[in-house]
C-alpha cells in the first residue's frame, strides 16, 4: 500500500512545538543486538555464523543513541506515549509500525543501505526491526522512507484515531498552505466519508466504504469551471484508481503547480464521468459578506484559517457600519481550523466568560473570551447557520454562543469533533499532528461524535440550493 498521512477535513490545532526522545531499550529475544565493541572488531551472536566482511550485519540499538535516520521515529514514539490524550497500547504501536514497513512499496532500483541497525523505542518494537531488516533485504528502500512508514503506521494502525497523523515534509507544507488560506490546485473542498457508519464520519483509506467526496467547488475556481458538483465522488486520478490510497495521498496528487493538468474520475449518481482540470493558484475564500437588507448583515466563514481573524473583523465592521442590527454567521461546511482563530471569532460577539475548556489526562485548561469584541452588544441579534459538515472550531464557537445564550443556532446536527490536535516537529522536516486533549463547552457539555443540536433544527435535503438554509433563516428572522 502507498502511504501518506491523513489530512482530515476537520482540524483543530494548537501551536507547534518539538519534544525530545529518551527511551532505553534492552536486548530483545529474536533480534540481534549490536554489541558495544570497538570499531573494526568482528562480532556475532552465539550460534550465529559470522558474516563475511562484505555483508551487512543487522542489529539494534536503543533510542538513547539511535542511528540518525531513526531519530524521528524515537522522537515520535516519545511524543505519542507522553502526550496522547488516551492511554497507549505499546504493542499496537509496534504492530502498526511493522505493518506499515511491510506494506511499503519501494521505488524500482533501490538498494539496501550500508547499515541495517534499527533503533528500538521499546522491547515491543522487535517485530518492527525484524520487518525493517527483512524489507531492506528483499525490497530495499532508503531507510528514512521506511522510518516514515513506521511513524505513519504507529498512528494509523496503533491509535485508531483519524485526526492523529504523520505529515511528511511535503504533506506538512500542504497542510500549512491550506491553513494559510492560499493553495495551488483545482479549487474544491473535499472530505472523506465512511459510509459504513450512520453519521458518515471521517476515514483514512479509500475503499468501498471510504469515499472522498466533493463538498463544494470554490466559486470561480477550475473545478467549478469544468462542472464538478457538490456530492461528486472521486474514483481515479490521472487514470489510476485511488482505492487503497490514503486521503492525503489523493490530495497530494490532485494538487500541483498552477498551469498543469490533472484528470479526475468522478462517480455522480452512479454514473462514471471524467474531468480534465487545469490547476490554478487559489485564494481560499475565507470570508464573504453582504448586507441582505437595511438591517441584516450576512457573514460566511469557510475555514478558521490563520488569517481568518483579520478578515472576519474587517467584514464585521463593514456590516455594522452599514447599519446591521442583525448578523447571520454562516458556518455551513466549515471544517474548523485554528483554535486561536476560533477564540477570536467567538470573542467578537461575547463580552466575557469562556470560549471552551480542554481536558487532557491530569490537566484542564480554560480559554477565556478576549476582550474588545466589536459585536458584543446584546442589541445586535446573532443567528448562526450550521450543517452536518460544520466541525471542530465551528462547533467550539457555536457551543460557546449556545452556552452564553448569545445566538440562535439554525440548521442540522453538527459533525461532532471534540478533539484538539497539537503539531510536533520531528527534526526531519516532517511533523506529527496528535490528539492531545478533548474540548468541552464552557458549561462542560461534550458533543463528541453526536454534534451540537441547533435551537431550530432544519434538515437540509440533498441537492438543496446553496442558500436553502439562509432563506429558511430569513423567514424565521422576519417572522
Q: Is the pLDDT of residue 43 over 80?
A: no
Tens of pLDDT, residues 202-211 = 788 899 999 9
Clarify whether 64 is annotated catalytic: no
- Mean pLDDT score, 45-64: 56
Q: What is the pLDDT of residue 362?
A: 83
What percent of the chain is predicted at pLDDT more than 70? 86
The set of cell numbers assigned to 148 is: 516514515
**Least confident span in 29-38, 105-114, 278-287, 400-409:** 29-38
Closest alpha carbon to 336 in 401, 405, 286 = 286
CA 140 to chain centre: 30
Considering the chain, what is the average pLDDT of its residues? 86
What percent of the chain is predicted at pLDDT more than 90? 69
Clarify whether 2 is annotated catalytic: no
3-state secondary structure the chain: CCCCCCCCCCEEECCCEECCCCCCCCCCCCCCCCCCCCCCCCCCCCCCCCCCCCCCCCEEEECCCCCHHHHHHHHHHHHHHHHCCCCCCHHHHHHHHHHHHHHCCCCCCCCCCCCCEEEECCHHHHHHHHHHHHHHHHCCCCHHHHHHHHHHHHHHHHCCCCCCEEECHHHHHHHHHHHHCEEEECCEEEEEEECCCCCCCCCCECCCCEEEEEEEECCCCHHHHHCCCCCCEEEEECCEECCCCEHHHHHHHHCCCCCCEEEEEEEECCEEEEEEEECEEEECCCEEEEECCCCEEEEEECCECCCHHHHHHHHHHHHHHCCCCEEEEECCCCCEEEHHHHHHHHHCCCCCCEEEEEEECCEEEEEECCCCCCCCCCCCEEEEEECCCCCCHHHHHHHHHHHHCCCEEEECCCCCCCEEEEEEECCCCCEEEEEEEEEECCCCCCCCCCCCCCCEECCCCCCCCCCHHHHHHHHHHHC
Clarify whether 232 is annotated catalytic: no
Q: Is the pLDDT of residue 5 over 90?
A: no
Q: What is the pLDDT of residue 180?
A: 64
* CA pair distance 71, 426, nearest whole angstrom: 8
Q: Which residues pair with residue 368 across a beta bridge? A: 354
Q: Is the pLDDT of residue 315 over 60?
A: yes
Q: What is the pLDDT of residue 57?
A: 52
Domain edges within the chain: 1-26+58-167+420-436, 182-283, 287-417+449-478
Q: Choosing from 390, 392, 394, 433, which is the catalytic residue?
A: 392
Q: What is the pLDDT of residue 160?
A: 84
Tens of pLDDT, residues 71-101 = 999 999 999 999 999 999 999 999 999 999 9
Instruction: Answer whether CATH 3.90.226.10 is correct for domain 287-417+449-478.
Output: yes
Q: Choosing from 152, 338, 394, 417, which is the catalytic residue?
A: 417
Closest alpha carbon to 192 in 251, 252, 236 = 251
pLDDT tier for residue 248 given thresholds of 50, 70 and 90: confident
- Mean pLDDT score, 123-140: 94
Tens of pLDDT, residues 332-347 = 999 999 999 999 999 9
Q: What is the pLDDT of residue 379?
A: 97
Instruction: Answer whether CATH 3.40.220.10 is correct for domain 182-283.
Output: no
Number of Cβ within 10 Å of residue 170's Cβ equals 13
Tens of pLDDT, residues 418-456 = 999 999 999 899 999 999 999 999 999 999 989 999 999
Tens of pLDDT, residues 363-407 = 999 999 999 999 999 999 999 999 999 999 999 999 999 999 999
Q: What is the pLDDT of residue 426?
A: 95
* CA pair distance 186, 191, nearest whole angstrom: 15
Q: What is the pLDDT of residue 182?
A: 65
Question: Whole-structure pTM over 0.85, yes or no?
Answer: no
Number of Cβ within 10 Å of residue 470's Cβ equals 19
Q: What is the pLDDT of residue 93?
A: 98
Q: Choosing from 403, 433, 443, 472, which is the catalytic residue?
A: 403
Tens of pLDDT, residues 168-196 = 888 787 777 666 666 789 999 888 888 88
Q: Is the pLDDT of residue 39 over 80?
A: no
Amino acid at each position: 500500500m502507498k502511504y501518506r498521512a491523513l489530512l482530515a477535513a476537520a482540524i483543530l490545532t494548537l501551536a507547534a512545538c518539538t519534544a525530545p526522545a529518551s527511551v532505553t531499550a534492552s536486548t530483545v529475544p529474536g533480534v540481534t543486538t549490536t554489541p558495544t565493541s570497538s570499531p573494526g572488531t568482528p562480532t556475532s551472536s552465539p550460534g550465529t555464523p559470522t558474516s563475511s566482511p562484505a555483508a551487512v550485519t543487522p542489529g539494534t540499538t536503543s533510542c538513547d543513541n539511535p542511528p540518525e535516520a531513526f531519530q524521528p521515529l524515537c522522537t515520535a514514539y516519545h511524543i505519542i506515549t507522553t502526550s496522547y490524550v488516551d492511554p497507549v497500547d505499546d504493542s499496537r504501536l509496534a504492530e502498526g509500525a511493522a505493518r506499515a514497513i511491510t506494506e511499503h512499496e519501494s521505488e524500482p532500483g533501490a538498494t539496501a543501505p550500508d547499515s541495517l541497525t534499527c533503533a528500538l523505542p521499546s522491547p515491543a518494537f522487535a517485530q518492527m526491526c525484524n520487518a525493517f531488516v527483512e524489507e531492506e533485504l528483499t525490497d530495499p528502500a532508503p531507510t528514512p522512507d521506511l522510518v516514515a512508514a513506521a511513524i505513519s503506521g504507529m498512528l494509523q494502525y496503533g491509535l485508531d484515531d483519524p485526526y492523529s497523523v504523520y505529515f511528511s515534509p511535503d504533506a506538512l507544507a500542504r497542510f500549512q498552505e491550506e491553513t494559510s488560506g492560499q493553495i495551488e490546485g483545482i479549487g474544491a473542498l473535499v472530505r472523506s466519508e465512511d459510509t459504513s457508519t450512520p453519521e458518515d464520519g471521517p476515514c483514512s483509506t479509500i475503499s468501498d466504504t471510504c469515499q472522498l467526496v466533493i463538498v463544494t467547488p470554490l466559486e470561480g475556481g477550475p473545478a467549478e469551471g469544468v462542472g464538478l458538483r457538490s456530492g461528486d465522488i472521486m474514483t481515479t486520478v490521472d487514470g489510476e484508481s485511488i482505492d487503497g490510497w490514503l486521503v492525503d495521498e489523493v490530495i497530494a496528487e490532485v494538487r500541483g503547480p498552477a498551469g498543469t493538468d490533472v484528470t479526475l474520475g468522478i462517480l455522480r449518481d452512479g454514473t462514471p464521468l471524467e474531468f480534465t482540470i487545469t490547476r490554478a493558484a487559489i485564494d481560499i475564500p475565507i470570508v464573504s459578506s453582504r448586507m441582505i437588507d437595511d438591517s441584516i448583515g450576512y457573514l460566511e466563514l469557510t475555514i478558521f484559517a490563520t488569517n481568518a481573524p483579520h478578515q472576519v473583523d474587517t467584514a464585521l465592521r463593514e456590516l455594522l457600519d452599514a447599519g446591521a442590527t442583525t448578523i447571520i454567521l454562516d458556518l455551513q461546511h466549515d471544517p474548523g481550523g485554528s483554535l486561536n482563530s476560533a477564540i477570536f471569532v467567538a470573542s467578537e460577539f461575547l463580552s466575557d466568560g469562556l470560549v471552551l475548556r480542554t481536558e487532557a489526562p491530569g490537566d484542564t485548561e480554560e480559554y477565556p473570551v478576549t476582550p474588545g469584541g466589536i459585536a458584543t452588544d446584546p442589541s445586535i441579534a446573532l443567528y448562526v447557520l450550521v450543517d452536518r459538515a460544520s466541525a471542530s472550531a465551528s462547533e467550539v464557537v457555536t457551543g460557546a454562543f449556545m452556552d452564553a445564550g448569545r445566538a440562535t443556532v439554525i440548521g442540522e446536527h453538527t459533525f461532532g469533533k471534540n478533539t484538539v490536535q497539537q503539531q510536533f516537529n520531528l527534526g526531519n522536516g516532517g511533523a506529527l499532528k496528535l490528539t492531545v486533549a478533548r474540548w468541552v463547552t464552557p458549561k462542560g457539555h461534550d458533543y463528541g461524535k453526536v454534534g451540537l443540536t441547533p435551537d431550530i433544527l432544519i434538515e437540509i435535503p440533498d441537492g438543496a440550493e446553496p442558500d436553502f438554509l439562509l432563506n429558511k433563516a430569513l423567514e424565521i428572522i422576519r417572522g
